[in-house]
Amino acid sequence: MPTIQSQHAELDRERTWSDETTHAIHESQTLRIECVHEAYPRETAWTVAAYETPVSDRMWHLTATGATPAPVLQTLLHHLAEGDGWDTAVGGQVEEKTVAAATRRHTDAGWEHTVDGRWIRWTSLTGDAGVHFDAFAAQNANSSLATWTVWAGPDINRATWAIHASPYAPRPAPGQPR
């Protein structure tokens, strides 16, 4: 099988039974990436998932739609290749200070902040991008619901592209760009 090498780790590219998807599997077999080649723009094209061991339950996952811009995907994949973000410990709940830290730049930039039941949203000044946080999903680690959604487009329900992340998806270390 072909191997994709980065300066930090090796990912094996696995051919599936069809040519519709490609899988990249970290040498530890605990980080897996699936790419659906011809996904529609608003459907999931990328799925990244991390596991504690090669045969354990999933620790965290994130997905990106087919229209997610290449620079956004490239930044995301480079962050994951660093190796220090995806080995997130399982067990801790998302705390208020974590949410505040993750959204500080949005608040500082004047993004509109709204609370609607279990959802907290930050929307850009132009209304064409946002961050959505689901407090219920954040407290249920085994839920398939997205805790975080980053989106761009007319609104979250008609997003041009979106990235969805589970509760323990990695975040940039202090000092790294977000």
Question: Using an 8 Å Cβ cutoff, are 111 and 99 in contact?
Answer: no
Task: Please check whether residue 178 lies inside any domain of the structure.
Answer: no
Question: Using an 8 Å Cβ cutoff, are 11 and 24 in contact?
Answer: yes
Among the ranges given (35-39, 79-83, 148-152), the one the predictor scored with the smallest mean pLDDT: 79-83
Task: Please identify, among 50, 81, 112, the residue that sits at the C-terminal boundary of a domain.
Answer: 81
The per-residue pLDDT for range 95-132, each reduced to its tens digit, is 788 888 888 999 999 999 999 999 999 999 999 999 99
Task: Please identify, among 51, 81, 111, the residue that sits at the C-terminal boundary of a domain.
Answer: 81
pTM: 0.80
Number of domains in the chain: 2
Average pLDDT over residues 22-29: 86
Q: Which residue has the higher pLDDT, 99 or 8?
A: 99
Return the pLDDT at 27.
Answer: 84
pLDDT at 88 over 60: no
Task: Please check whether residue 173 lies inside any domain of the structure.
Answer: no
Average pLDDT over residues 7-11: 53
Task: Please check whether residue 172 lies inside any domain of the structure.
Answer: no
Are residue 33 and residue 65 in the same domain, yes or no?
A: yes
131: containing domain: 96-165
Task: Please identify, among 81, 114, 146, the residue that sits at the C-terminal boundary of a domain.
Answer: 81
Task: Please check whether residue 15 lies inside any domain of the structure.
Answer: yes
Return the pLDDT at 101.
Answer: 84
pLDDT at 177 over 80: no
Burial of 85 (0-12, 13-18, 19+ CB in 10 A): middle
In the β-sheet with 10-15, what is the strand arrangement from edge to edge? 3-5, 10-15, 21-26, 31-36, 44-51, 58-65, 161-165, 148-152, 129-134, 119-123, 112-116
Are residue 26 and residue 73 in the same domain, yes or no?
A: yes
What is the number of residues in the chain?
178
CA angle at 177 for the pair 110 and 31, rounded to the nearest 5°: 125
Task: Please check whether residue 89 lies inside any domain of the structure.
Answer: no
C-alpha 168, offset from chain centre? 10
Q: Which residues contact 139 (CB under 8 A, 6 or more apart)?
A: 93, 94, 167
Q: Which residues contact 91 (CB under 8 A, 6 or more apart)?
A: 141
Burial of 97 (0-12, 13-18, 19+ CB in 10 A): exposed
The per-residue pLDDT for range 44-68, each reduced to its tens digit, is 999 998 888 889 888 888 999 999 9
Band (79; pLDDT cuts 50, 70, 90): confident
> Ranked by mean pLDDT, which of 26-35, 77-86, 93-102, 109-118 comes out on top?
109-118
Task: Please check whether residue 70 lies inside any domain of the structure.
Answer: yes
- Cα separation, 51 vs 30, in Å, equals 5
- Cα separation, 98 vs 59, in Å, equals 18
Are residue 36 and residue 60 in the same domain, yes or no?
A: yes
Average pLDDT of the chain?
A: 81
Task: Please check whether residue 159 lies inside any domain of the structure.
Answer: yes
Are residue 8 and residue 69 in the same domain, yes or no?
A: yes
Return the pLDDT at 167.
Answer: 83
